Amino acid sequence: MFPVARAAQSLVARGIQRTAIRQAHHKHEPTFHDKYGTMVLLGGAAMFSAVWGYVLTQLKIEWGFSPVGRVTPREWRE
């Protein structure tokens, strides 16, 4: 291996080793997502379900989109 490539490889390896050691000694503090992530997800799912439940049951939505039997043709005018 060329000396420059070998030096670069050892620098990269040393940096990775330092990062791994630093992370191993670092105490993990809970973040917002660790603390509240599940509750936010469940709250969003409940809100989504409540809104769409209301939309699908309370609003006057006509579900048959086919015009067959409802549209009558007009008389042709010449």
What is the number of domains present in the chain? 1
Rounded to whole angstroms, the Cα distance separating 16 from 32 reads 27
Q: In this predicted structure, which of 8-17, 21-30, 50-59 has the lowest mean pLDDT?
A: 21-30
Assign 53 a pLDDT band (cuts: 50, 70, 90): very high
- pLDDT tens digits along 16-46: 878 777 766 666 788 888 888 999 999 999 9
- Judge whether 76 lies within some domain: no
Residue 61 has pLDDT above 80, yes or no: no
Rounded to whole angstroms, the Cα distance separating 43 from 37 reads 10
- Judge whether 30 lies within some domain: yes
Give the range of the structural domain holding residue 45, as residue numbers without chain letter: 1-59
- Judge whether 64 lies within some domain: no
Alpha helices (H) in the chain, listed in sequence order: 3-25, 32-58
- Judge whether 52 lies within some domain: yes
CATH number at residue 10: 4.10.51
Rounded to whole angstroms, the Cα distance separating 15 from 7 reads 12
Rounded to whole angstroms, the Cα distance separating 52 from 65 reads 20
Stronger pLDDT, 34 or 74, i.e. the higher one: 34
pLDDT averaged over the chain?
A: 80
- Judge whether 75 lies within some domain: no
